[in-house]
Structure 1
Amino acid sequence: MPPKPAASPRHVQKHYILDTNVLIHDPGSPFQFKDNFVWIPVEVFEELDRFKSESSTRGANAREVHRRLSERFMNPSDMQAGVKLENGGLLRVCINPTARFSAEGWQLVSDSPRFQALRDLFADLTLPDNRILAAACGVADGEKGSVILVTKDLNMMLKARALGMEAQDYRTDRVEDVDIRLTMRRSEEEYETMDVSPHTVQAYASQETIVIPEAKTFIPNHYLLLRNEEEPTHAIPARHVAGGELHKLRRDRIVIRNGRTLNALNLGQRFLLDALYDPAISLVTVYGKAGTGKTLLTVGAALEQVQVGVFEKMLITRVIMPTGRDIGYLPGKLEEKMQPWVQPAFDALELLLTRPRRPEQFENKRQSQRKSDDHQPPQQHSSQQSGPTKPMRPWEPLTASGRLEIEAITHIRGRSIPNAIFIVDESQQLTPHEAKTLITRMGKGSKMILIGDLGQIDNPYVDAHTNGLVYARNRLQGQPWMAHINLFKGERSEMAEVAANLM
């Protein structure tokens, strides 16, 4: 008689308690925990209510959470018993019976060891975070199985662990990308190489394209070096289009009409310019630390293509991550509100649209100014005399003609943007939801460039592995219209490069 098969271990359901910041980060997070129990403390509703009127992405996400939960909890019995989810899990609202409010303030009526530790360590229950911790303690005391607090707040995570509870980050959209650490610290360029015969290198050097069957393993629009296997110092940069077909790089300079000409200063910048000028590529993502030329090259390539008519206009936006203030606190129109945030792009435009002067031009200008001052008669001061006129900046005619627009991410919803090139600076501050919102705005004939430094993240809801830039790169890589570039070498100055690497 054959032996009976061993019984598979029974799946033990876990209890996940979601902090407010998880719902703000991903409004669909309650539905991402498979067939486990998902708890939302009632205090979370109170925090969401504070954000719902904001015109920011945080406000939009708070309203989306309210809509999704309202669709699930249709009546009071749903709130009490919970609702079944399509993945087999159960979604419940946690109303903590041990936390009570009286004339003396908030009090905990439970004497369990966990609640006693909460009273000793985090007694101030006027703080929503501490009441959420109390709700998690209540679930841990009353339910079987593992209880895990899910939060994107590192301090909240530490407080939960101090109470002996398990706590973790929201990992559903976490991306493991080896390029993250490489581009944050490395100064030497590191790009993939493919060793081929000298004959293949020579054939590729004499023509625009070549097909190498072994290159089929690379994803579309992957940049690499074809290296002579007999002489490794001899290599030619290439882009794998698809199916083993490799193309030569076609652009290595930016030529601005009535402005400057910029040449690529390293291999990474050559890769970037090739992707920026290729009409078949509609989305470019760029990782690079400070000083690698991300903004300057991207703005320059966009400006030249607008000048020659490839695109009708260029749009520039930057993720606003101030210290607690929203864009509405700044005076003026949208462009005036956004100007402090997109100033790096304006600096790049001013450089590109201004011809470099030779040293003798500065001397001639000083001499002519002195002569003018010597022959100018003294002016009568009058209260009627108007103040000095503000000189026009080189990029202002572009905004006046509609060929340059400054866009706020908070106002992008519902737009469709055709025949434009759209630059999103500081994309490492985006949430995955914001990245999706931006990319889905692109219409026919448009191109989007997401650029960012993964070592400079100020958004409390994302980190180097969960931001919208790495999310977009890893979800969309392999598409025939998408390319990714890593920039390693700083070109701003020796001091900036050393500081970026050592500080």
Structure 2
Amino acid sequence: MSADKLYILDTNVLLHDPNCLYEFKEQDISIPMTVLEELDSIKDRKQNVAQEARFAIRAIDRILSTATPSQILKGVQILVPGTDDDTKLGKLSIFPDHELTTRQGFLPDDKNNDNHIINGALHLQGSDPHREIILVTKDINMRLKALGAGLQRVEDYRKDQLVSDVDLLPSGHYHIEGNFWEAVTDVKSYQEGPNTYHRISPDLLPDAYPCQYVYDDSKDFAARVVSVDHEEIVLLDLGYEKLMQQDCWGITPINIYQAFAMQSVLDPDIDLCVLNGAAGSGKTLIALACALEMVIESGDYNKIIVTRSTPPVAEDIGFLPGTEEEKMTPWLSSIHDNLEAMHEGDDRPQSSVKYAIEKANIQFKSLNFIRGRSIQDAVVLIDEAQNLTPQQLKTILTRCGKGSKMICLGNLAQIDSNYLTPLTSGLTYIVERFKGFEGAANIHFEGIFRSRLAEYAEEHL
């Protein structure tokens, strides 16, 4: 018996979440032959999505490997890996859309793969009117084309989309109007070592979560939420002036958001820092200055590892001369730019930059070579994190070994990947997933300090 719905998956859905085959419950899934051809062409390319293509192909193979050709056309039962045979989902089939010819009302049967997939969906809609045929794609233009061609149901894949609007993402800090202490009637303060803590009623901060920063208009009170339960909230008193007086490698915060970021990066109790904000807001400068301070001055870590993902990197890296670090250097020029900015007042700035790179043991690593490693006693800067999928960021974060700190830097307004949007970016994903984890802090930077031209361009373009 066929399911009520048949989902037809586009290539970008399988790349975005290779495990999506197990997310459609008891409904059936069909993969057009064109999608398999696209996955085959991507898996051997040196791209940042090649790994996801191979994952998707292996997931399909696990389900169909023992089936006959006729069974594959009709549909093979999907079983959840590692569970009993009773745990069944829908059926998976392969649809030979390449065999279709142009029919009246269908899109032109040219070399456009999107048209082939849409034509296949339209054919199934006409030949099987008793169940819903739903095309699932993350390509907005393809969704519009499919609807215009007469397909009744077209959807985005939203299984791992945790927020409906990027503006709903937590900023990591909360501003209280007026003076915070004037609203507090009952507080229990205590000292642990050099730190002062306050226990207050949860009614004062109803939406608080661990590692959220809190400040008021008095420019005296600033704190970080340590823990939250139904009885009390515990705050770590940071002090506004103390935060603004922080100094790392000659860099001091310009505003309170940079101060929060600096405090979170320097705090050994925080393993993951997510710094997001507009271009020119100081994310890379703050992260790099703190990393140099922790490696060279305090000796808390042994090295700094810098990695990033850009669509051209994986294809071009093999054609550049030199070692892995030398090949990655053109793509990590932002690190060099910030190092030069920190040492521009020195007598010999280039020598200072070289000294910092060597002394801090700064290593530039390609995303392709991060997989499989266990990184210990290091500060890891993940630059341009908005271009990473949730799966890629998971791969990097799970490399974190003993005594390491991960710092993600990104700007959701500058996504270069064809397969991601601000809502489906890995950066958005980890901000939501790690909200409430006592070992992770997220800071949204506000203000642009690169130049007045950069500020105007960010606001008006």
TM-score (ref. length: structure 2): 0.85
Q: State the number of aligned residues.
A: 432
SS, match of residue 424 in structure 1:
strand
201, 204, 224: which one aligns with 2:214: 224
Structure 1: distance between partners of 2:63 and 2:30: 13
C-alpha displacement at 1:83, in angstroms? 1.9
Residues 103-143 of structure 1: CA deviation (Å, up to 9, x unaligned): xxxx34xxxxxx3112xx4231x332222122112221222
Larger mean Cα displacement after TM superposition, 151-160 or 246-255: 246-255
141, 153, 160: which one aligns with 2:126: 141
466, 475, 492: which one aligns with 2:424: 466
Instruction: Note if contact 1:292-1:490 (Cα within 8 Å) is conserved in structure 2.
Output: yes
328, 340, 343: which one aligns with 1:350: 340
Q: Say yes or no: does 1:80 pair with 2:65.
A: no
Larger mean Cα displacement after TM superposition, 469-478 or 57-66: 57-66
Question: Runs of 5+ in structure 2 lacking a partner?
Answer: 79-86
Q: Say yes or no: does 1:502 pair with 2:460.
A: yes
C-alpha displacement at 1:240, in angstroms? 0.5
Structure 1: distance between partners of 2:89 and 2:39: 26
Residues 86-115 of structure 1: CA deviation (Å, up to 9, x unaligned): 45322111124852xxxxxxx34xxxxxx3
What amino acid sits opposite 1:44 in the alignment?
Answer: V
Counterpart of 2:160? 173
What amino acid sits opposite 2:301 in the alignment?
Answer: F
What amino acid sits opposite 1:302 in the alignment?
Answer: A
Structure 2: distance between partners of 1:493 and 1:266: 16
Counterpart of 1:439? 397
What amino acid sits opposite 1:41 in the alignment?
Answer: P
Counterpart of 1:385? none
Structure 2: distance between partners of 1:271 and 1:304: 16
Could you say if the C-alpha distance between residues 270 and 219 of structure 1 is closer, same or farther in structure 2, counting changes exceeding 3 Å? same
C-alpha displacement at 1:81, in angstroms? 2.6
Structure 2: distance between partners of 1:302 and 1:448: 11
Q: How does 1:330-479 map to 2 (within 5 A)?
A: 330-356=320-346, 394-400=352-358, 403-479=361-437
Residues 162-219 of structure 1: CA deviation (Å, up to 9, x unaligned): 11113222111213166647899xxxx9834286443959997997321113258521
Residues 391-446 of structure 1: CA deviation (Å, up to 9, x unaligned): 96533345556711101111111000011110111111111110100100000111
Instruction: Note if contact 2:163-2:169 (Cα within 8 Å) is conserved in structure 1.
Output: no
What amino acid sits opposite 1:282 in the alignment?
Answer: D
Could you say if the C-alpha distance between residues 190 and 310 of structure 1 is closer, same or farther in structure 2, counting changes exceeding 3 Å? closer
Counterpart of 1:379? none
123, 134, 159: which one aligns with 2:109: 123
Larger mean Cα displacement after TM superposition, 17-26 or 136-145: 136-145
Instruction: Note if contact 1:183-1:289 (Cα within 8 Å) is conserved in structure 2.
Output: no
SS, match of residue 54 in structure 1:
coil
Could you say if the C-alpha distance between residues 267 and 306 of structure 1 is closer, same or farther in structure 2, counting changes exceeding 3 Å? same
Instruction: Note if contact 2:33-2:98 (Cα within 8 Å) is conserved in structure 1.
Output: no
Residues 8-56 of structure 1: CA deviation (Å, up to 9, x unaligned): xxx9722211011111111111221122111101121111111121343
Structure 2: distance between partners of 1:83 and 1:295: 49
What amino acid sits opposite 2:221 in the alignment?
Answer: I
Instruction: Note if contact 1:287-1:486 (Cα within 8 Å) is conserved in structure 2.
Output: yes
What amino acid sits opposite 1:88 in the alignment?
Answer: L
Q: Say yes or no: does 1:152 pair with 2:141.
A: no
Q: Say yes or no: does 1:62 pair with 2:53.
A: yes
What amino acid sits opposite 1:213 in the alignment?
Answer: S
Q: How does 1:318-333 map to 2 (within 5 A)?
A: 318-322=308-312, 325-333=315-323
Could you say if the C-alpha distance between residues 497 and 205 of structure 1 is closer, same or farther in structure 2, counting changes exceeding 3 Å? farther
Structure 1: distance between partners of 2:119 and 2:183: 71
Instruction: Note if contact 2:4-2:27 (Cα within 8 Å) is conserved in structure 1.
Output: yes
C-alpha displacement at 1:279, in angstroms? 0.4
Instruction: Note if contact 1:179-1:486 (Cα within 8 Å) is conserved in structure 2.
Output: no
C-alpha displacement at 1:350, in angstroms? 2.2
Residues 251-272 of structure 1: CA deviation (Å, up to 9, x unaligned): 543332xxxx111111111111
Residues 222-278 of structure 1: CA deviation (Å, up to 9, x unaligned): 1112x4xxxx6565121001141111336543332xxxx111111111111110111
Instruction: Note if contact 1:180-1:464 (Cα within 8 Å) is conserved in structure 2.
Output: no
Question: Runs of 5+ in structure 1 lacking a partner?
Answer: 1-10, 100-106, 109-114, 358-364, 366-390
Structure 1: distance between partners of 2:206 and 2:26: 39
Larger mean Cα displacement after TM superposition, 485-494 or 189-198: 189-198
264, 287, 295: which one aligns with 1:306: 295
**Deviation beyond 6 Å, 4+ runs, structure 1:** 181-184, 201-207
SS, match of residue 254 in structure 1:
coil
Counterpart of 2:25? 34
Counterpart of 2:82? none
C-alpha displacement at 1:348, in angstroms? 1.0
Instruction: Note if contact 1:54-1:60 (Cα within 8 Å) is conserved in structure 2.
Output: no
Q: How does 1:174-253 map to 2 (within 5 A)?
A: 174-176=161-163, 180=167, 191-193=174-176, 196-198=180-182, 208-214=196-202, 215=205, 218-225=208-215, 227=216, 233=218, 236-243=221-228, 244-249=233-238, 251-252=243-244, 253=246
C-alpha displacement at 1:326, in angstroms? 3.8
What amino acid sits opposite 2:263 in the alignment?
Answer: D
Structure 1: distance between partners of 2:371 and 2:53: 15
C-alpha displacement at 1:325, in angstroms? 4.7
Could you say if the C-alpha distance between residues 13 and 295 of structure 1 is closer, same or farther in structure 2, counting changes exceeding 3 Å? same
SS, match of residue 304 in structure 1:
helix
Larger mean Cα displacement after TM superposition, 201-210 or 43-52: 201-210
